[in-house]
Chain A
Amino acid sequence: MTSTHTNSHTEAAKMEQVITEFFYKSLLIILESRSSYVSSRNYSGEQTVSSPSSSSSSSSSVRPRDKWFNLALRECPSALENLDLCRQSNFEPVVVDVVLEQKPLDWGPASFSPTSDLVRNLSSKNKNSYFWNCDQDESGSEMKCEKIIERWFVQHESRKGRDCNSGNRRSSCNNLSALYKKLILMLRSLYVTVRLLPAYNIFRDLNSSGLIRSFKLVPRVSSFVEPLARKEEVDMQRFWFTPVDTSCGRLCLSVLYYSSISDMSSESSTPMSPQFIPDYVGSPLADPLRRFPSLPVSHGSPSSLPFSRRHSWSYDHYKASPPLVSFSPSPTHSESNALVSNPTSRGLPPMSLPPHPPETSLAHKRNTNFDEYCPSPNFSASPSPSPSPSLPIYIPRTHLSKDLLRSESAPVNIAAPKLANSPALSGKQNLPPSPPLKITRAGTSRADNIRVPAETDATVDKIFSFGKEDCWKYSGVKAFSNSSPRISCSRSSSRSLQDDFDYSEFPCPFDVEDGEMMDPGSRKSQDAAVGALVRMLKKAPPLRQNVSLNFSEASRPEILSNSIPKQSQISEAVTVEHAAAPNIASFRLVASKTTTDALEELRGYKVMKNLLLSEGGKAYTSNVASAAEHSSTSKGT
């Protein structure tokens, strides 16, 4: 009796242990295929060479727990945490909720994700908006959305009104071995089933792709859970594993799951993950010397693009450097394809994820953003041509004409000899009106600066209009200073700005010595006057076309009209001065003209000079002739 009682206790204890281990094993199987950690999926790949039972040496690698139900799996931390739950003597049911969590929509720079707006948009447009359960988090700052996509039930249903310990030893032993065999079979099928359900695809992609996702799988283990909403349960399917009878009840295993969810990971074509590249070629971070110190450098959102970014719009940059912020929604490309009710699909959460916008619209949006974030030009007010930060104008690539992007010609400048040979100036008639372009030295054959295209382009106008007002804002003050506003749109290069505006080395036939000022009242030679005009033009702020055109077209007749003096050659010079003097004021007005226009004017001045000389001679001759005639006439009367 005592031995029977002892045996029954032993059998009962064994049964209890088997049931407990079954709970743990089933939990392990479920969690290791739903938790984002190194699961048996990767673990088992290592063991093809050494099967646990193929050689005695490998048996040492098999842990005691692995031998339960002859299924060696890698340990799962979350399963271990819930071991106590499995060891409950009363065998409380264990419920595993596999929750699909959307990461909070954080628009901060640090966690910027291009997919955030996609998720948000889809959430707002989701037809089955009840799919996601969204709540404010504890802080109330973020919206957290989650959805139970699977619910596993592991429970032991006790048989009532029957003594579990009854029966002889032999039958108990047979029962135990039979039970053990059946539990092995059940766990085998459980292992296969968890990999056939839709949630496994999410798990696999999350673990294997390494891409940044806006969602994650979170299994939650508990003994008691709130029942799912009826409408949720209606949409879910249930799969029952055939219960296995035990001595005092039966072990039941079942799962509720969504079968009609689309594949969130069907994004084989978009592997890029969004990332902010701070040290792209040409960025201030890559070249600290070029960085404008007063401007912030932030990461993440396009709104925080550094305003000090320069030279990033040259063609070579676009060829060489990667995009600053990848707007590729690749990580959530598939998650945005939220289709519903496709039983043949792989089965992933549907519906609430935004559709993947086309690349063109994203590109458009990117450029639009860039337009908005185009910084105001930063003019350097340095009085000397020392290295100073040049104008950081970010010009979106789409707004640049192809000619602009592809230009490699040397920048134009005012010096005649060089300009005449510059290929950039051939046939330039329709230049953009107000160019905050660099007025730089010629001879720079490197493709450092952007050539103004020959043809008028509205987009180019827009580009230059970015800085136009600021040109006026800054340039008017600097018109007659010894320095010129440093307006540079060139990409970063190793050369300093000193190279750009070093006019002192540049020979000018009309140049006068430094320090000489053009005093309207002073008497100068014609050459000096013209030279002074040229010098003034060099240092003048950008000209306005309309005024300059008026000047260039109207001033000649004016000068010509003034060039018919009734006086001698000296007075002719005075008239030139008179002609020149009122034009000084107009020079300021035409400061915004391009260098090409200036060249044209210079040529005009040459013509004027020649004309003046010729006119002066003619006038003298005519005066003499008229005086002689007059005198002859008066004599005749």
Chain B
Amino acid sequence: MNCEVCQLKELEVEHFEIREVLRCILHTIVFHRALGLVRPKDVDLELFEITYVQCGDVELEKKIDEKIDHFISWVEKHPNKKSQICLSFYEVKSKQPSWFTNKTERLYWEQWYVNLNVTQHPKHHSSKSHHTKLVVDPGESATEERSCRRAMVEASLREVLFQIIKFVNEKKDHVPPISEGVIYFPYEITIPSSSDSAFGMDMIKRMLHSGHPTMLS
């Protein structure tokens, strides 16, 4: 079984938009992969005029929020950096136990990469924009700029969602069969770790030792 990979369009978001954007994207993906009996839950974003869908599972919502919190913490420590969140779906396969591996392994059949570019607040007239709280003369231009930027982010987010829909529609064959009593496929959310290099190492580590149950989830 091959692993389908979908690189989503990069979104340029501000710090306060991260939570909503990630919730929207991650829940949309998971909803498409929650093929068990669900009662969908519509959620309206507060920052954007977009309604996304959750599959209604409380545990799932909790886990996603935890991951988002970790990501936000990482972003705060690494400002102005492009980041990537990986949502992977896998199957648990049993295999021959050995010294370095467990009995089960994870076979990833789908990976979604959410690319974010977290930006700072818009620069003010003052050079010390990071610490300046007073705006010299925001006027209407700043408001217009803000609303324009917000509209752009919303449009980009909408594009990403349509990208997800198209991907789900175009590629169906790789999706495993539905197990009885299971709402959604096992998944894994990978966020950048404390250092950039460690993030890449984590990915390699995961590839080499795929099936390690508790490394990154």
Contacts and interface: CB of A to CB of B under 8 A. Distances in A.
Contacts of A14: none
Contact of B38 (A43, A45, A52): A52
A282 B56 CA distance: 53
Given A66-B37, A185-B175, A51 B51 contact: no
B161 interface: yes
Interface stretch (A338-346, A399-407, A566-574): A338-346
A345 B169 CA distance: 25
B35 A184 contact: yes
Contacts of A40: 39-40, 42
Contact of B183 (A48, A53, A181, A204): A53
Interface in A38-87: 40-41, 43-45, 47-49, 51-54, 62, 66-67, 70-73
Interface in B15-37: 28, 31-32, 34-37
A49 B61 CA distance: 12
A72 B41 CA distance: 11
Nearest to A186: B169
Contact of B169 (A44, A67, A242, A263): A242
A52 B37 contact: yes
Given A44-B39, A53-B37, A181-B175, A188 B168 contact: yes
Contacts of A45: 41-42
Given A51-B39, A51-B58, A191-B40, A344 B31 contact: no
Given A54-B57, A189-B168, A195-B42, A70 B36 contact: yes
A53 B181 contact: yes
A344 B154 contact: yes
A185 B183 CA distance: 13
Interface in B151-177: 151-152, 154-155, 158, 161-162, 164-165, 168-170, 172, 175, 177
Contacts of A346: 49
A195 B37 contact: no
A466 interface: no
Nearest to B162: A196
B178 interface: yes
Contacts of A71: 37-38, 40
B91 to A, nearest CB: 15
Contacts of B216: none
Contacts of B39: 40, 43-44, 47, 51-52, 66, 72-73
Nearest to A190: B165
A189 B37 contact: no
A72 to B, nearest CB: 4
B141 to A, nearest CB: 19
Nearest to B161: A196
B172 A44 contact: no
B135 to A, nearest CB: 23
A177 interface: yes
Given A185-B169, A192-B161, A177 B52 contact: no
B198 interface: no
A343 B49 contact: no
Interface in A189-208: 189, 191-193, 195-196, 200-201, 204
A201 B49 contact: yes
A47 B55 CA distance: 10
Contacts of B51: 195-196, 200, 204
B57 A189 contact: no
A182 interface: yes
B183 A192 contact: no
Nearest to B48: A346
A52 B39 CA distance: 7
Contacts of B35: 70, 181, 184-185, 188
B40 A189 contact: no
Nearest to A33: B42
A353 B38 CA distance: 40
Contacts of B3: none
Nearest to B49: A346
B53 interface: yes
Given A47-B56, A51-B56, A195-B53, A182 B172 contact: yes
Nearest to A74: B39
Contacts of A474: none
Contact of A70 (B37, B53, B152, B165): B37
Given A177-B177, A192-B32, A51 B161 contact: no
Contacts of B154: 344
A48 B58 contact: yes
B52 A195 contact: yes
B142 interface: no
A241 B167 CA distance: 10
Contacts of B181: 53
B6 to A, nearest CB: 14
A393 to B, nearest CB: 44
Which of B49, B175, B178 has the most C-beta atoms of chain A within 10 angstroms of its own C-beta? B49
B201 interface: no
Contact of B57 (A51, A185, A263): A51
A152 to B, nearest CB: 15
Which of A66, A189, A242, A345 has the most C-beta atoms of chain B within 10 angstroms of its own C-beta? A189
A344 B38 contact: no
A25 B58 CA distance: 25
A219 B142 CA distance: 41
A49 B41 CA distance: 12
B207 interface: no
B50 interface: yes
A381 B155 CA distance: 71
A71 B35 CA distance: 9
Contacts of A70: 35-38, 178
Interface in A104-138: none
A169 B41 CA distance: 38
A184 B158 CA distance: 22
Given A181-B178, A196-B158, A263 B40 contact: no
A185 B176 CA distance: 12
Nearest to A67: B37
A66 B169 CA distance: 22
19 contacts: A40-B40, A40-B42, A48-B56, A51-B38, A51-B183, A52-B38, A52-B39, A53-B36, A70-B36, A71-B37, A72-B37, A72-B38, A182-B172, A185-B168, A185-B175, A191-B40, A192-B161, A195-B51, A204-B51
Given A66-B39, A70-B35, 6 more contacts: A51-B57, A53-B183, A71-B40, A181-B172, A241-B169, A244-B172
**Shortest 6 CB-CB contacts between residues of A and residues of B:** A344-B155, A242-B169, A346-B49, A72-B39, A44-B41, A70-B37
